[in-house]
């Protein structure tokens, strides 16, 4: 038997007490049997330090402290309330029925529940149990199965049929949906082979993940008018624009996605408050009929990298602040170079050349507008296959 000095501190699981656990890992691996522990130890090594490993103290081998393995005593069921909000994914080498019973009281919503994956005690099957799409359990199942050379068991219809996963559509590019209300009925239309329109006005073109062609029930359109004319039974609409009332007919059974394609070039006087900057941004996007959810970045001159108001706006919305040197800005052709701006900054313009440099586009949706202490330009990021 290993001595107490050789093993990690043992987590005591008690009824009615949620254990306090700290971690920097995204995943947890949990085992409760002798064979499961051996499997779990190998799996932890394969994860390369990105997964915490938990197993019962009676299986301690003496190297747990060195390997960062966490031991516990008591029912594993009592640890799930602590693990659920802590990890993106939980990999259980426990029987499927037991896992279902343990997690059932903790389920909230597929948009927030972690991905749950179950492995049998021999490591022959890896099963996606919960939050297959949004929680990443399907992807995690494939990765773990590859590590173990096991069979991945995934039952979500879109994966089995190799069609569009509506709740993941464009996610790898950063697309966000305007509302989750129609995710389920549109998903049903896709897997039930109803006529589905994909309307794409902006955003990355390489969203289809399979080598096989699109299913025949799915048709791609470049604009809403063409899609409306064909009267589809469901729609996935990808655009940075605010839709007109007549276009919103597509959303009766449709999901609206916002691709990250808008770049905001911003110049402002020193000390301009965040609310003024944000107000100009919102007002300008509304005038252009663009969605603020499609903003990808805010671009400016490096003299503004510490501008408090600008930093506050970017932090509030999760936008990166991209800064360019005067030399980089002066390399961009602009419509109205200013000697005054050059005198104070070393650049002949800020908002316009910053937006052009970031987007890679020769023309902008809004060349330049001055409002109070703020100057703004708006451009659309070029994506693969687009031309000016």
Contacts 24+ apart (CB under 8 A), 328-332: 328/357, 329/301, 329/353, 329/354, 329/357, 331/357, 332/356, 332/357
Q: Which of 27-31, 166-170, 230-234, 246-250 has the lowest mean pLDDT?
A: 166-170
Predicted pLDDT of residue 305? 94
- Give the model confidence (pLDDT) of 333-381 as tens digits: 999 898 889 898 999 999 999 999 999 988 999 999 999 999 999 999 9
Query: Residue 384: is its pLDDT beyond 60?
Result: no
Distances (CA, A) of 380 to 74, 224, 261, 359, 369: 57, 19, 5, 6, 16
Per-residue pLDDT, 8: 54
Q: CB-side exposure of 293: number of CA atoms within 13 Å?
A: 15
Calculate mean pLDDT across residues 14-34: 90
Q: What is the pLDDT of residues 227-282, one digit of tens each?
A: 999 999 999 999 999 999 999 999 999 999 999 999 999 999 999 999 999 999 99
pLDDT confidence bin for 104, thresholds 50/70/90: very high
Determine which of 20-24, 103-107, 109-113 has the lowest per-residue pLDDT on average: 109-113
* Cα angle, residue 320 at apex, residues 314 and 326 outer, rounded to 5°: 100
Whole-number pLDDT of residue 320: 97
What average pLDDT does the segment 127-144 reach?
A: 84
| pLDDT tier for residue 156 given thresholds of 50, 70 and 90 | confident
Residue 385 pLDDT: 43
- Confidence band, pLDDT 50/70/90 cuts, at residue 155: confident
Q: For residue 18, what pLDDT band results from cuts at 50, 70 and 90? A: confident
The pLDDT of residue 213 is above 50: yes
Q: What are 296-320's pLDDT values in tens digits?
A: 999 999 999 999 999 999 999 999 9
* Cβ contact 262:294 at 8 Å: yes
Portion of the chain with pLDDT greater than 70, in percent: 96
pTM above 0.85, yes or no: no
* Distance (Å, whole) CA 288 – CA 377: 11
pLDDT of 79 strictly over 90 = yes
211 vs 173 pLDDT, higher one: 173
The pLDDT of residue 14 is 83
Joined tokens for residue 388 = 């000016």
pLDDT above 50: residue 13: yes
Lowest mean pLDDT among 76-90, 161-175, 307-321: 161-175
What average pLDDT is seen over the chain? 91
H/E/C letters for each residue in 214-266? CCCCEEEECCHHHHHHCCCCEEEEECCECCCCCHHHHHHHEEEEECCCEEEEE
Q: Distance (Å, rounded) from C-alpha 302 to C-alpha 266?
A: 11
Q: At 125, give phi and psi (nearest 5°).
A: -130, 135
Residue-range domains of the chain with CATH: 4-155 (3.40.50.11220), 166-258 (no CATH), 262-380 (3.30.420.180)
pLDDT score, position 136: 79
Q: Is residue 142 predicted with pLDDT exceeding 60? A: yes
């Amino acid at each position: 038997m290993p001595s107490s000095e050789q093993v990690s501190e043992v987590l005591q699981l008690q009824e009615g007490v949620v254990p306090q656990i700290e971690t920097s890992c995204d995943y947890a691996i949990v085992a409760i049997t002798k064979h499961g522990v051996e499997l779990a130890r190998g799996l932890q090594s394969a994860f390369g330090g990105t997964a915490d490993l938990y197993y019962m103290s009676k299986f301690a081998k003496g190297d747990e402290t060195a390997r960062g393995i966490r031991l516990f005593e008591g029912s594993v069921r009592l640890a799930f309330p602590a693990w659920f909000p802590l990890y993106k994914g939980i990999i259980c080498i426990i029987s499927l029925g037991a896992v279902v019973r343990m997690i059932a009281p903790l389920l909230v919503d597929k948009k927030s529940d972690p991905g749950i994956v179950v492995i049998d005690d021999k490591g022959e099957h890896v099963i996606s149990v919960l939050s297959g799409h949004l929680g990443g359990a399907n992807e995690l199942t494939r990765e773990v199965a590859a590590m173990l050379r096991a069979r991945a068991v995934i039952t979500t219809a879109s994966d089995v049929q190799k069609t569009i996963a509506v709740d993941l559509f464009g996610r790898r590019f950063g697309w966000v949906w305007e509302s989750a209300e129609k995710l389920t009925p549109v998903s049903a239309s896709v897997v039930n082979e109803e006529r589905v329109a994909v309307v794409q006005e902006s955003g990355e073109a390489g969203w289809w993940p399979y080598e096989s062609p699109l299913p025949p029930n799915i048709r791609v359109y470049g604009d809403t008018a063409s899609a409306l004319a064909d009267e589809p039974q469901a729609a996935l609409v990808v655009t940075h624009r605010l839709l007109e009332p007549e276009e919103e007919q597509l959303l009766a059974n449709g999901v609206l996605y916002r691709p990250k394609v808008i770049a905001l070039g911003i110049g402002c006087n020193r000390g301009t408050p965040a609310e003024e900057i944000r107000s100009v941004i919102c007002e300008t996007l509304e005038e252009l009929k663009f969605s603020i959810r499609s903003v990808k970045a805010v671009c400016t001159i490096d003299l503004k990298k510490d501008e408090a108001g600008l930093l506050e706006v970017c932090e509030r919305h999760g936008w990166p602040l991209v800064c360019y040197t005067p030399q980089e800005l002066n390399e961009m052709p602009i419509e109205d170079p200013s000697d005054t701006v050059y005198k104070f900054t070393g650049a002949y313009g800020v908002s316009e050349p910053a937006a052009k440099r970031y987007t890679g586009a020769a023309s902008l949706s809004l060349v330049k507008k001055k409002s109070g202490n703020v100057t703004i330009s708006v451009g659309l990021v070029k994506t693969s296959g687009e031309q000016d």
